[in-house]
Amino acid sequence: MRLTLFDLDNTLLSGDSDFEWGLFLASQGVHDREAYEARNLAFYEAYKAGTLDIDEFLQFQLGPLGRHSREQLDRWHRQFMQAHILPLISGPARTLVREEQVRSDLVAIVTATNRFVTAPIAAEFGIAHLVATEPETGPDGQFTGRVSGTPCFREGKIACVDVWLASIGKRWEDFGTTVFYSDSLNDLPLLTRVSHPVAVNPDPTLRARARTERWPILELAA
């Protein structure tokens, strides 16, 4: 059996959905645009450098979810998908997903970006399974602005995949072939966990590691 996992940002997307969501909210006047965009960019640069403090970032990124109703957030997200996300989905990315859906027994997106932002994106790709950072919700179904459980980031991605597999009655050992596509040095823990790591549009650190390990390197052009 074959299990295929995809990172999302800068892998299936030719950009970062977390970063774009922050820009979108600033464009809607939800925040002071200049101050918010500067902090958003600083977090993004830390992520690319492998120095991101995930707890600090999640306080920043999930906070707006707790300050607005689900109805308002859903309206914003529909606009966000059209203006910011669909232009980041390339034909080659869609083709790769379709090919893996044919040859794999189970396919999922595994992303550090929270489920509110990424669930509609997974649906756009036709991928039913999403393993993501979970925003906490209260008894009323509204977001609290806090994270629930383990962030799906670095080593946390392995823990979150373990929990997801168990929830559907599966284990790593059920799969003779496990594949993970990613662009980022932050995903080295999961890349080294699978039997077939693939570097996609890799950052310099991951590109160097992929060359050393002789992992496939894939460039998904827009």
- Among the options 9, 18, 187, 203, which is catalytic? 9
- Among the options 7, 16, 18, 203, which is catalytic? 7
74 is annotated as an active-site residue:
no
| DSSP label at residue 13 | B
Strand order in the sheet with 106-114: 143-148, 129-137, 106-114, 2-6, 177-182, 196-200, 217-218
What SS3 class is residue 4? strand
Q: Which of 9, 2, 3 is nearest to 161 (CA)?
A: 3
Nearest-angstrom CA–CA distance, 195 and 185:
17
174 is annotated as an active-site residue:
no
Nearest-angstrom CA–CA distance, 111 and 8:
6
**Long-range contacts: 165-174, Cβ < 8 Å, 24+?**
168/129, 170/106, 172/3, 174/1, 174/3
Q: Annotated active-site positions, please?
A: 7, 9
